[in-house]
Structure 1
Amino acid sequence: MKLRVHFVVDPMGWFCLSMVFGVWLYNTVFIPTLILFPHYSEGHIPCALVACYYLASLFCITALVRASTADPGRLPQDPHIPHSEREHWELCNKCNLMRPKRSHHCSRCGHCVRRMDHHCPWINNCVGEDNHWLFLQLCFYTQVLSLFTLLLDFCQYYYFHPLTHLQQEGFGVRHELALLRVSTFMGLLMFGGMSSLFYTQLTGILTDTTTIEKMSYFKSDVGSSGRPWQQTLSEVFGTRWKLLWFVPFRIRQPLGGALYPRLHV
């Protein structure tokens, strides 16, 4: 499968995505400046802690960029439908094109998406069959980075030894308390919101139910998959190697016998 870049022209989505990127950039700049590097230079914390923070930050921004630019499963204008699979397709009453069942037409993007879960303004993209795994990784690594930031903020207040060598004229030192309070507030907000979203997404995947289907008043042919959670998540992430579920740098390959069969498009 080739890596396809997908952009949604939506000023509001760009604004929301910029806010998420700004939160990530804030913590990636000020937390190392105020906590990690000064305490590492004085021997209060090991080098591994600094490396782990930057690794979590790297995985988080990679998942964000890829989830926002990956093709969620957009249907082509003229899909090829084999005769044996026609019963699995239906006509979209908005774009008047044939689409697989459980697809949905996104009014913001203007096209149908295979097994669309929802349109997320925070990544300025739909969450569908081809990028759902990236969105799940984004929720996970945002929780990890937010919790990491909160722990560092707490340790800076109550645990770390006072620094002996400070540049008192530096902006970070003069405004350390205010900067750490903002970081703590954003960390609490992101961790709480992403934890709830991650639980909702994980529950939906394990029960084979999209967010759109949950919001509908009725659901036809949708219910619990009745299969082991390992198999369900393997089909979403496109691999049975559990370690690769946590790697946002790879290209997803659909598995056979998935929750949502890969039809010819």
Structure 2
Amino acid sequence: MGLRIHFVVDPQGWLCMGLIIFVWLFNLITIPNVILFPRYEEEHISVGAIFCFYILAFLCIISLLRASIADPGRLPENPKIPITERDFWELCNKCNMMRPKRSHHCSRCGHCVRKMDHHCPWINNCVGEDNHWLFLQLCFYTELLSSYVLLLDFCHCYYFEPLNKVNLDLFVFRHELALTRISTFMGLIMLVGITGLFYTQLIGIFNDTTSIEKMANCCEEISRPRKPWQQTFSEVFGTRWKILWFIPFRQRRPLRVPYHFANHV
């Protein structure tokens, strides 16, 4: 099953996503020029530290792009409903279309999304059944990159020996302290925000409850059959192999589960 493209025209979402890309570009330019390359030249770090940074930065931006353009599970205009599943569909009172239960109408995107968790302006897309796993990958790699940037900033300021060869005519060295503090501030904001978001997402999957259902304070999680957490995670990531959940560049294979069990409320 290939990755279906979904593009949302939303200036506010473009602005939020642009801020994320700006933070990514700032660290991609600042960290190598202020810390990695000078420290490598003076043999304070190995080339592996440089490769690790670029690999994490690459995985982070790829995860962001994939999550932002992936179809979250948009319902077609005329869905074909099998006779055996009609009892588990309902009419949307906003777009007057039939949809599976646990779907939600996104007012910003203007359509219904299967098992929608929330609309995220930072990726300019909904988070639903088909791209939830990509959103979790984005949170995972962003946490790793932010933690690594904070570690480099800390070691640069308090652990490594002072640099011997510094060209003070270069902008990055004339403003080294300011650039490092900005990088640290951005890293802390990203790490704290993503950690809280990642935690709430994981708890929601454990309980098989979307963010919209929790905000609505509904009773679906009580009347719906409870599933083992391994099954709920496997349904989100499309594989029962835990080692593959956060592997990049793979395609999600929806697990074949009984429809009434997966969507009954």
The bucket for the TM-score relative to the shorter chain is over 0.9
Partners of 1:91 and 1:225 lie apart in 2 by 23
Partners of 2:40 and 2:114 lie apart in 1 by 48
- Pair 80,57 (structure 1): closer, same or farther in 2 beyond 3 Å: same
Per-residue CA shift, 1:198-254, capped at 9, x if unaligned? 000000011000000000132335578644433321211111222221123111110
The alignment-based identity, stated in percent, is 63
Tell me, yes or no, if the aligned pair for 2:206 and 2:232 is still in contact at 8 Å. yes
Q: How does 1:179-190 map to 2 (within 5 A)?
A: 179-190=179-190
TM-score by length of structure 1 reads 0.94
1:155 deviates by 0.6
Partners of 1:231 and 1:47 lie apart in 2 by 41
Task: Tell which deviates more after alignment, 52-61 or 125-134.
Answer: 52-61
1:258 deviates by 7.3
Please, what is the CA RMSD of the aligned residues? 1.8
Per-residue CA shift, 1:78-118, capped at 9, x if unaligned? 11111111011000000000000000000000000000000
Question: Is 1:69 the equivalent of 2:65?
Answer: no
- Pair 65,262 (structure 1): closer, same or farther in 2 beyond 3 Å: farther
- Pair 25,197 (structure 1): closer, same or farther in 2 beyond 3 Å: same
Partners of 1:227 and 1:89 lie apart in 2 by 21
- Pair 169,232 (structure 1): closer, same or farther in 2 beyond 3 Å: same
TM-score by length of structure 2 reads 0.94
Question: Is 1:121 the equivalent of 2:118?
Answer: no
Partners of 2:141 and 2:48 lie apart in 1 by 18
Which residue identity is paired with 1:74? R
Tell me, yes or no, if the aligned pair for 1:208 and 1:225 is still in contact at 8 Å. no
Partners of 2:216 and 2:179 lie apart in 1 by 43
The secondary structure found in structure 1 opposite 2:119 is: strand
Tell me, yes or no, if the aligned pair for 1:140 and 1:198 is still in contact at 8 Å. yes
1:260 deviates by 8.4
Tell me, yes or no, if the aligned pair for 1:5 and 1:70 is still in contact at 8 Å. yes
- Pair 178,221 (structure 1): closer, same or farther in 2 beyond 3 Å: closer
The secondary structure found in structure 1 opposite 2:48 is: helix
Task: Tell which deviates more after alignment, 137-146 or 104-113.
Answer: 137-146
Tell me, yes or no, if the aligned pair for 1:35 and 1:152 is still in contact at 8 Å. yes
Partners of 2:167 and 2:223 lie apart in 1 by 60
Task: Tell which deviates more after alignment, 78-87 or 250-259.
Answer: 250-259
Tell me, yes or no, if the aligned pair for 1:235 and 1:258 is still in contact at 8 Å. no
Tell me, yes or no, if the aligned pair for 2:67 and 2:131 is still in contact at 8 Å. yes
**Partner in structure 1 of residue 250 of structure 2:** 250
The secondary structure found in structure 2 opposite 1:246 is: coil
Tell me, yes or no, if the aligned pair for 1:153 and 1:184 is still in contact at 8 Å. yes
1:2 deviates by 2.5
**Partner in structure 2 of residue 78 of structure 1:** 78
Which residue identity is paired with 1:204? G
- Pair 60,122 (structure 1): closer, same or farther in 2 beyond 3 Å: same
Aligned length: 263
Q: How does 1:1-265 map to 2 (within 5 A)?
A: 1-220=1-220, 226-257=226-257
Which residue identity is paired with 1:97? M
Per-residue CA shift, 1:125-147, capped at 9, x if unaligned? 00000000111111111111111
